[in-house]
Amino acid sequence: MDMNTVIGVVERNAGKLAERWLERLHKEAGMEDYAREPAPFLLDHVRDAYQEIGTYLDQPRHQVIAEHFRATGMRRRERGLPLAEVIRAVQLARTVLWQYVIEQGIFDSTVNLYQALNLYRQIVTFFDQAVLYAVEGYFETASGEP
C-alpha cells in the first residue's frame, strides 16, 4: 500500500484519532492540568493536526507547521499549562497515530514494512519539529520575542 493511501486513512479518521488521544491523555500520569482543560479546546487542535498530516509530511519544513505549533505553545502557556505536559501531549499524539496505523494491518509484506519504517521516520521527524515549535511558542513573549 502506498503512503498516500495510509495518510488518507489517517486524515479521514482524524476525529477518531483525536478521541483516542483524549482518552489516553486522561489516563496518562502527570497530565492532570491538561486533563482539566475543556475537551473541545483540546480535540480541535489535535484533530486539525491529524487532518493535515499529509501536508505536513509532504513539506516537512513548511511554515504552517511552525506557525501552528508556535501558536499552540503560546496558547498553552497563556492557559497556565506546564511545559512538560505540552510536550507529553504532542508525544501522545504521535503514539496514538502510529498505533492506529499499525492496527490497520496495512504493512503485511517486506516492501510494506520498508514503507512503514519510512513513514515512521517521517512521523517522528514531524512530531519532533512540533515539540520544538511548541516550546518556542511557549517561551515567546507577547511581542514575539523569545
pLDDT digits (tens, 9 = 90+) for 96-132: 999 998 888 777 777 677 888 888 898 898 899 999 9
Q: What is the pLDDT of residue 17?
A: 96
Q: Which residues of the chain have pLDDT under 70?
A: 1-2, 59-61, 111, 141-146
CA distance 139 to 74: 7
Instruction: Please give the pLDDT value at position 146.
Output: 57
In this prediction, residue 1 carries a pLDDT of 58
Q: Return the exposure string of 13-46: e unless at least 16 CB atoms fall within 10 Å of the residue's CB, then b.
A: bbeebbbbbbebbeebeebeebeebeeeebbebb
What is the distance between the alpha carbons of residues 136 and 44, in angstroms, rounded to a whole number? 21
**What single-letter amino acid sits at 112?**
N
pLDDT, position 2: 67
pLDDT at residue 141, as a whole number? 60
Specify the pTM.
Answer: 0.88
- The ranges assigned to domains in the chain are 10-139
